Structure formats: structure tokens, C-alpha cells
């Protein structure tokens, strides 16, 4: 009886150990490195959460390249930085994709395998050239070209399409309102001309009927005058 009971206890303990291992494997969670893109034209920063496990060497390769640059902000380009020392949890990465602070792009999360990213830097190159090369490879979320399995919910895609339709409809309404205003103003202008012809010839139109030059046209005229002055000198 004693030997049989011992064998049963041993078998039960082995089954418990297997269950614990499977449970630990199931509960194992990924952590995420954070690639930050700060764009000078949009005045925004976009975060790309990249799964760290399985992509350690590829992330280290990107970081080594980025650290060779003394970054300066250019209006048409982006600056990049990669955080691999302090990783965030999968829950944090997922929650950050829901944050709605930017107008150009949401933060994004990727769970796939990262390919090797070569920015094309060469020894002796200036920082400005490196910044342009990095932007050409990674600018405006092009990290998506090097990794798959982006974690994005279907409702987010639907919201984007709905918001796009709402935007287009509002733009159509604004355009129709502007056209209506133009038609009203043109009809008023025609009425004034008829009344003027019927009345005395010396009657002048009110100052409000004068056509204002658009601000952009004024700027072009100013620039043209400056260029003419330079040529004259």
C-alpha cells in the first residue's frame, strides 16, 4: 500500500508540474520597444511599439545607427529615437494605440518579426545627410515596411472610414455654402450696376463693393517686387 501510494503521489506531482509549466507559458507576456518619430511639419510625435522578444538584434542595429546622429529638427523631415532599455507591457502598448491626441496619425503597435533596417549611413557623412536618409527609410511610419502583424482593431478602421466620410460631407456642405454666398453677392453686384446705369453717371459704388486682393496674392506681389529690386541693383 505504501509503495502504491507513493507512486500515485509522484504521478500527481508530475501532472501538477506539467500544468504549471503550461500555465506559465500561456501567461508569458511580450514587452515592447518604442520607436519615436517626431515630425517638424506636422508638429507631432508618433510612437511605434515593436515587440522586443525575437527582435533584439534588429532593434539593436537600428539603435546603433540612430545614435550616430546629432539630431536637429527640420520643417520637412523627422527625428527618430529608439527606447530599448525601458520596455513597456503589451497592455500599455495596446492602450497607447487608442490615445487620440494627434490629427495626422495614431500610435501603432506591431507584433511581427522585424527585418533588418539599414539606413544607408556612411562614415564621414554629415548629420543633415543622415537625417534625410533616415527620413527616406522610416519617415511617416515606414517602419511598417519592415515588420508585419500590426495590432489594429476592426472598429478603429471603421471609425477612420466614418470620420473620413463625415469630413468629406462637411467639406461638401462648406463648399455649397460658399457657392451660395458667391451667388448672392454676385446678384447684389448686378443689381447695383443696373441701378447705377438708371441713375446719374457720377454715382459711385460703396466701398464695400471693392474687391480685396487675397493674402496669398499680396505675398506673391511683394515677393515679385523684392525680386525686381534685386535685379535692378
Task: Give the domain ranges of the chain.
Answer: 31-150, 153-181
Q: How many CB atoms lie within 10 A of CB 79?
A: 19
Whole-structure pTM value = 0.60
What average pLDDT values come out for the chain (233 residues) when binned by 10 residues? Answer: 57 57 57 97 95 98 98 92 98 95 92 98 95 97 97 75 51 58 49 48 48 42 48 54
Which tens digits make up the pLDDT trace of 23-69?
A: 454 455 899 999 999 999 999 999 999 999 999 999 999 999 999 99
Give me the chain's average pLDDT, please: 75
The distance from CA 163 to its chain's CA centroid, rounded to whole angstroms, is 16
* 178 CB-near residues (< 8 Å, 6+ apart): none
Give me the helices (H) in the chain, please: 2-27, 56-66, 90-96, 127-138, 154-198, 215-232
Cell of 6: 507513493
Give me the helices (H) in 28-146, please: 56-66, 90-96, 127-138
Which tens digits make up the pLDDT trace of 156-172?
A: 775 544 445 555 555 55
CA nearest neighbour of 52 among 76, 91, 88? 88
What's the confidence (pLDDT) of residue 124? Answer: 92
Tell me the Cα Rg of the chain: 32
d(CA 56, CA 61): 9
What's the confidence (pLDDT) of residue 29? Answer: 86
The distance from CA 42 to its chain's CA centroid, rounded to whole angstroms, is 8
Amino acid at each position: 500500500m505504501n509503495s502504491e501510494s507513493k507512486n500515485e503521489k509522484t504521478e500527481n506531482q508530475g501532472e501538477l508540474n506539467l500544468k504549471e509549466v503550461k500555465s506559465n507559458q500561456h501567461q508569458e507576456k511580450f514587452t515592447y520597444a518604442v520607436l519615436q518619430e517626431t515630425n517638424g511639419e506636422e508638429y507631432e510625435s508618433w510612437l511605434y511599439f515593436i515587440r522586443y522578444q525575437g527582435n533584439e538584434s534588429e532593434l539593436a542595429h537600428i539603435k546603433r545607427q540612430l545614435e550616430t546622429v546629432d539630431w536637429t529638427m527640420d520643417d520637412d523631415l523627422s527625428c527618430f529615437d529608439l527606447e530599448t532599455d525601458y520596455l513597456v507591457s503589451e497592455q500599455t502598448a495596446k492602450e497607447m494605440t487608442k490615445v487620440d491626441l494627434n490629427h495626422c496619425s495614431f500610435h501603432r503597435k506591431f507584433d511581427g518579426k522585424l527585418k533588418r533596417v539599414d539606413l544607408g549611413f556612411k562614415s564621414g557623412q554629415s548629420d543633415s545627410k543622415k537625417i534625410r536618409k533616415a527620413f527616406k527609410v522610416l519617415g511617416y511610419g515606414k517602419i511598417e515596411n519592415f515588420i508585419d502583424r500590426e495590432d489594429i482593431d476592426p472598429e478603429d478602421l471603421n471609425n477612420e472610414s466614418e470620420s473620413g466620410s463625415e469630413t468629406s460631407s462637411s467639406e461638401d456642405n462648406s463648399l455649397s455654402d460658399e457657392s451660395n454666398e458667391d451667388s448672392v453677392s454676385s446678384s447684389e453686384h448686378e443689381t447695383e450696376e443696373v441701378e447705377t446705369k438708371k441713375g446719374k453717371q457720377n454715382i459711385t459704388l460703396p466701398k464695400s463693393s471693392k474687391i480685396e486682393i487675397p493674402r496669398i496674392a499680396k505675398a506673391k506681389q511683394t515677393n515679385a517686387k523684392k525680386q525686381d529690386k534685386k535685379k535692378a541693383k
